[in-house]
Amino acid sequence: MVKLSVVIVSYKVRAYVEQCLMSLLRSLRDIDAEVFVVDNNSHDGTVQLIRSRFPHVKVMDSSHNLGFARANNAAIRQSTGEYVLLLNPDTIVAEDTISTVLDFMDAHPQAGSAGVAMQCVDGSLAPESRRGRPTPMTAFYKMCGLCAMFPRSRFGRYYMGGMSWSEAGRIDVVSGAFCMMRRSALDRVGLLDEDFFMYGEDIDLSCRIADAGYENWYIPAHILHYKGESSHQSSFRYVHVFYNAMLIFFRKHYGSVS
């Protein structure tokens, strides 16, 4: 068993994968780790690039687009790490980020998963770095704009706007863009729910980890996130896929939703 297994799922983001792996391998320099890249049938030279430039990375070349959950699960099942890190390919990891999160997880055995501060390309910090459980009421506050208008009040629970960015704190949902999980927690709650093709699976898994008695944490370590590049968001497709994922989540956790 290694200390950490890192899983990256890529789809038509060759240049971003290269940057991500370069930063990741620097951050793993003193860590016993294995790295998997699952390529969802990109046809853009991603697989060839990784095999030539990063020979120690384990590449899984899918013949079709598995979606985010199924692709991650395929690699997790082959991994052996005490911890598993899900990492988006459109991220750049600071050199001390992974060691900082690992040290925290080692010191907090009830921590089932942990995320970090995701910095956007404009220098701002992405609010989805810390999220609350999306109850129907919390989701309503976000959709009607109250969350954005009053981020530090109860209306801002979706993004936990009252939290400090500079201190570790418990959160409800860890973003799948950087989600470090304890293997024993995954063994207890299961892997990503493959009913979700893209979006929502990180929310569902975070809730299952918390419901099993583990804690989800925000750690004030940093990554740069080119938000949306790994999923090729277009306005119509993004909205359609995202809200379909939310329907799956609400039906699963809160009963029937029309």
Helix axes 14-27, 97-107, angle to 10 degrees: 60
Contact 8, 37 (CB under 8 A): yes
Return the pLDDT at 229.
55
Q: Summarize the confidence of residues 42-62 as an average pLDDT.
A: 96
Q: Summarize the confidence of residues 6-24 as an average pLDDT.
A: 96
Is the pLDDT score of 193 beyond 50?
A: yes
Q: Return the SS3 of 61.
A: strand
Q: Summarize the confidence of residues 149-170 as an average pLDDT.
A: 76
Phi/psi for 101 (5° steps) reads: -70, -40
Return the pLDDT at 237.
56
Contacts of 65 (CB under 8 A, 6+ apart): 11, 40, 41
Contacts of 54 (CB under 8 A, 6+ apart): 21, 25, 35
Q: Which of 120-129, 231-240, 246-255 has the lowest mean pLDDT?
A: 231-240
Write out pLDDT tens, residues 204-223: 899 999 999 999 999 999 99
Return the pLDDT at 233.
47
Return the pLDDT at 141.
47
Q: Which amino acid would we find at residue 52?
A: S
Chain center to CA of 3: 19
Contact 172, 115 (CB under 8 A): no
Given the DSSP bridges, would you call strands 215-225 and 91-93 parallel, antiparallel or unpaired?
A: antiparallel
Burial grade of 66 (CB within 10 A; 0-12, 13-18, 19 or more): buried
Q: Summarize the confidence of residues 238-252 as an average pLDDT.
A: 60
- Domain assignments of the chain as residue spans, ordered by start: 4-254
Is the pLDDT score of 243 beyond 80?
A: no
Contact 31, 9 (CB under 8 A): no
Return the pLDDT at 63.
87
Q: Summarize the confidence of residues 74-83 as an average pLDDT.
A: 98
pTM of the complete model: 0.84
Class of domain 4-254: alpha beta
Q: Which amino acid would we find at residue 229?
A: E
As a dihedral over the C-alpha atoms of residue 186, residue 198, residue 3, residue 60, rounded to 10 degrees, the angle is: 120
Sign of CA dihedral 54, 221, 216, 111: positive
Cα–Cα distance measured from residue 116 to residue 220, given in angstroms and rounded to the nearest whole number: 6
Cα–Cα distance measured from residue 155 to residue 82, given in angstroms and rounded to the nearest whole number: 37
H/E element holding 116? strand 111-119
Burial grade of 169 (CB within 10 A; 0-12, 13-18, 19 or more): middle
Return the pLDDT at 155.
47
Tell me which of 50 and 142 has the higher pLDDT: 50
Q: What is the mean pLDDT of the chain?
A: 86
Is the pLDDT score of 50 beyond 60?
A: yes
